[in-house]
Structure formats: structure tokens, C-alpha cells
Structure 1
Amino acid sequence: MEYTFDRIQAAVAAIYPEIERTAMAGHAPLCEEQLWHELTCCILSSQVPYSLAQAAADRVNGHRILTPLHGLDAEGCERALRSLLGGAFVIEGRERRYRFPNSKARQLSQTRSSVVQSFGTLSAALSELGDAEVTRRWLVENAPGLGPKQASMFLRNCRGAYDLAIIDRHVLTYMEMAGLCRSDAPVPARYAGYIEYELILKSHSRAKGYMLGLFDYAVWIVMRIVARKEIAEGQAA
């Protein structure tokens, strides 16, 4: 089956209203422990399946190692995280290993130190930094392992920052089809490049009457389904 750009745009338009209704319903503010769980999952999700990152974040959160009240110093925090991330995880009945236990343990510990030294708590950091773009930039600069995509995801999940884009390979494929970027363009790793793509996508979404952070989610859902169907059809051929 051919997935034309017109069909993809129609699918995005069909699901957007429900996404907007859900988002506008609002969510209860997250507590400190929940904020750290979300941030942990975002940091751990780089280059690994999301289900594995979620399981690893759940384990870290269960031991409450990152909350300031835990009392661990930076070295003790990293050591404890390394032990937790180095263990086996069971994902859908299969035993899996997290790929980067040492580097991610170090990044999480350093992130915790940055937040505690600058603001005391993650809740205070979000409150004092205020503006979503300012907060994202601070996180990217002070939370090792957290790129603009992951930082945007964290702020959307925790603060409803729908003026930020989460640009991954699925959204980028849509942008290529729409002529918004060159073919086979990689997800921009540098902050300036990410902002450039985000501004292009924001202009595109506004022209269609959509909110950026809800539009890219609708695009992600549609393009993910298309990618899965194309893989299934290729295997069946």
C-alpha cells in the first residue's frame, strides 16, 4: 500500500482534535519524585528501546536515589546507579541488559548534583527558570546526556510545554515528505540545528492552525504506524 503525503496529512488531521482535547484537559502537577522519574527516563532513553529505558527508570525511581532527600553524595549516587543499571531487566518476557550502565550512572549523578547545587530541587528548578525555552537550554547545558529532544520531552510531560517540538526520525521523515528539510537529513544533534528545525516545523504547524507540540505528536503517531506497516509489508512480500 502506498502511503502518500496527502493520506498522511489526512490521518494527522483526523487524530489531532482528540490529542488537543486530551492535552487541554490538563494534568495534576508532578511531585519531586515523579519529576525525577520523568527526567531519568528521558536521559536513559537515548539509543535504547523506550521499554528498556522505562524499566530502568522505574528501578532507579523505586530506590529514590536521585531525590535530594536520599542523602547520597555524588560518588555514592553514581555507584548506586551503576549497580542498579547494570542488572538484568525482563522486558516482555525476555531478559535484557541496559547498554550504558556506567556512562548513564555518571550522567544521572552529575545531573542530580547540578540541580541540587543550583536550585536545591527539580521542582524549584522548573519554578525558578520559568520560561520553557530557558529551562530547556539550562537542562541541555547542565544535564549530561540530555539533548534538546529529550529535554523537550521532559518539559512536555511535566509542564505541558507544547510550544517545544520533539523531533525524532518519524517527525523528520514527515518533514522530508513535506519538503521542509533535505532528504535523509539526520536528527540534529547540535542545539542550534535543532532550534532551526523546530522553527521550520512551528511555522508549518501554525499555517495549518495547529499547536506545535500537539501537531508533532500527531505526526509521530501517524508516521510510526506507517513505518511499522511498511516493515510488515516488506517482510510479507
Structure 2
Amino acid sequence: MEELLKELEKIRKEAKPLVEERFEEFKKLGREGTEEDLFCELSFCVLTANWSAEGGIRAQKKIGDGFVHLSLEELAEKLKEAGHRYPQKRAEFIVANRWLIGKLKDLVNGDPFLSREFLVKNAKGIGWKEASHFLRNAGVEDLAILDKHVLRLMKKHGLIQEIPKGWTRNKYLYVESILRRVAERFGEPLGKFDLYLWYLVKGRVDK
């Protein structure tokens, strides 16, 4: 843990303005975004599973509110044009999730742990990482996004022995609790701490 904290302290000053600016965007989405805006963000998180944040951002810009109203065939074609690895399956997930429009504000403003569990159990293409990602991108501070970059950092610094091949509820919460202790030592909530980790790995702050 100490070595990771040292590395993070080196980039804290240059990363902080970017982190604060990005997190304010997240909070604004949660505060002012419509149900449709939130659904587009949920769809972005569906797309990034087994793909990349960069690809998801590109597809989100290309499709916009098409996530809400395009037919399954049209959406699959748009995702194919955006270069998604699984355009048909992701389009099916997104269309199947449209029943959540009207419920997302309540999830963002509710207990983050209960909201995450609800999404994992009820939304298609949404696991623990994706549910955490969506809620964080709507300004929720308390959840960890345990993607491959974060897990590799944790393994490198001896915080975990191996990278999990799949998630159960208990396993996710256990690894999250380890990262939460590091975030507390660093003095930031998990949602912001993730952005510092991304800056450490990528030299930029994505979403």
C-alpha cells in the first residue's frame, strides 16, 4: 500500500484539478440530468464491459439519445459502425433495459449499495463493476470500479494476490473494502480515488 500511495502523491497536484472538474460533471449529471441522460450513461457502462472506455465514449457520442429510441436493428448497426466487438448482444441488453427509464434518478439518489445490487440483479449486461461505474458517473462517491487497470495496480502493490476471474457479491465487496482503506489513507472517496488511479495508469482522467 505504501508504495502505491507514494506514486499517487507524486501525481496528486497535477491530477487534482482534472479530477475535481470531471467529478463535478458527474455530480451535475446526477443532479440535473434527465432520465434519458442517465439511461445513456447506463448504456455507456453496458458498452464498456469487455471493450474500452475510449470505445464507449466514441459510441456514446455517435449514438446519443439513440440508446433510448432506436430500434434493436438500428442500434446494433450503429454499434457495429462504432467498432463494438459485440454489437448485437449489447444492443439487445440496452433495449431490454429501457424499462429502467423512470427509475434511474431514484437509484442515483438512493442508498448506493442497495442501488448497485438492484442494477446487478435486474439490468442486462450490468455486473458489479458496471453498476458501480454508472453510479459513480452520476456523482455517487462511495463505490469502487474494479476494472482490469485497478486490479493490476492492486496486484502489483500486493493488495491482492491474484486478479479475480469473476465476481460474486462477497468477493467484490471484499476487494472493494481493501481499496477503500487505500482511498481513505489518500484522503479521497472511492469514486474520486478511481480517477487518480486512472491518471496514474493512463496520464489522463476519463470517465
Q: TM-score, normalised by structure 2?
A: 0.79
Instruction: Establish whether residue 148 from structure 1 lines up as the match of residue 128 from structure 2.
Output: yes
Aligned pair count reads: 197
Instruction: Establish whether residue 81 from structure 1 lines up as the match of residue 72 from structure 2.
Output: yes
Q: Return the alpha-carbon distance in structure 1 between the equivalents of residues 4 and 152 of structure 2.
A: 11
Shift of residue 154 of structure 1? 0.9
Q: In the superposition, relative to structure 1, how do residues 103 and 176 fare at CA in structure 2: closer, same or farther (>3 Å)?
A: same
Shift of residue 161 of structure 1? 1.0
2:160 alignment partner AA: C
Give 1:32's aligned residue. Answer: 35
Contact 2:47 2:90 (8 Å CA) reproduced: yes
- Return the structure number with greater helix share: 2
Give 2:172's aligned residue. Answer: 194
Shift of residue 211 of structure 1? 2.0
- Percent identical residues: 28
Larger-gyration structure (1/2): 1
Q: What RMSD over aligned residues (CA atoms) do the two structures have, in Å? A: 2.9
Runs (4+) of structure 1 exceeding 6 A deviation are none
Contact 2:15 2:199 (8 Å CA) reproduced: no
Q: Write out aligned runs for 1:1-237 (5 A).
A: 5=4, 8-15=7-14, 17-18=16-17, 21-22=20-21, 23=23, 26-27=27-28, 28-63=31-66, 66=68, 80-87=71-78, 88-89=80-81, 97-113=83-99, 115=100, 121-126=102-107, 130-158=110-138, 160-182=139-161, 184-186=162-164, 188-225=166-203
Q: Return the alpha-carbon distance in structure 2 between the equivalents of residues 176 and 132 of structure 1.
A: 26
Q: In the superposition, relative to structure 1, how do residues 18 and 197 fare at CA in structure 2: closer, same or farther (>3 Å)?
A: same
1:41 alignment partner AA: F
Q: Return the alpha-carbon distance in structure 1 between the equivalents of residues 90 and 150 of structure 2.
A: 26
Q: In the superposition, relative to structure 1, how do residues 176 and 18 fare at CA in structure 2: closer, same or farther (>3 Å)?
A: same
Q: Secondary structure of the residue that 2:9 maps to in structure 1?
A: helix
Contact 2:94 2:124 (8 Å CA) reproduced: yes
Q: Which runs of 5+ in 1 are unaligned?
A: 71-76, 90-95, 227-237
Which of 1 and 2 has higher RCO (CA within 8 Å, sep 6+)? Answer: 2
Q: Return the alpha-carbon distance in structure 2 between the equivalents of residues 216 and 122 of structure 1.
A: 26
